Amino acid sequence: MKKTIWTFGLISGAIMSVMMLATLPIMDRIGFDKGEVIGYTSMVAAFLLVYFGIRSYRDTVGGGAISFGRALAIGALITTVASACYTATWEVIYYKITPDFATKFEQYSIDRARAQGKSEAEIAKMTADAEQFIESYKNPLYNSALTFLEPLPVGLMITLVSAGVLRRKRRREEPELNPA
């Protein structure tokens, strides 16, 4: 079980990490909205490995059978490993490559609010909230926790679907009836 979890979790995490590193240099050109779409799309693609990991376990270790609970556990552990890889990559990016990311995102959010016609009072509150968030986000534990929670729901949803689709009970061998 460990081999399956680590193999598929690390591959999934590598896919998300590579996509994050690939989109980072073009973020100024594509914008935060498109970057978010690309990010979540790559998460879904990476978490498809949860399905393949559960199926691999079912077919190789489980002898073709797996319960919903076992499939759910394997998928959740693959998701955890992948999310940890994603978090580790983000921590390096945030603290070493783009320490001004939160400030840029704050400015983007404020500009978007102005374009939507928000009042100056709403914008002032947004700015104060954003400044408080930026200060909290400087704490590596807080930063890591929020980052870990970003891909986790996506992976868990794919885990639930995969566990439901892949569950298969063992076939009972029925005793042969001898007419004699």
- pLDDT tens per residue, range 11-68: 999 999 999 999 988 888 888 889 899 999 999 999 999 999 999 999 999 889 999 9
How does residue 86 score in pLDDT terms, banded at 50, 70 and 90?
Answer: very high
- Residues 6 or more apart in contact with residue 68 via CB below 8 angstroms: 163, 164, 167
The answer to pTM > 0.75 is: yes
Q: Secondary structure of the chain: what % helix, strand, coil (to 5)? A: 80, 0, 15
Average pLDDT of the residues of the chain = 91
pLDDT at 28: 80
d(CA 12, CA 131): 33
Neighbours of 100 (CB within 10 A): 10
Q: Which residue has the tokens 């007419």?
A: 179
Q: Which residues of 140-158 are buried (b: 16+ CB within 10 A; e: fewer)?
A: eeebbeebbebbbebbbeb
**Per-residue pLDDT at 180:** 54
Residue boundaries of the structural domains of the chain:
2-166
The predicted pLDDT at position 179 comes to 59
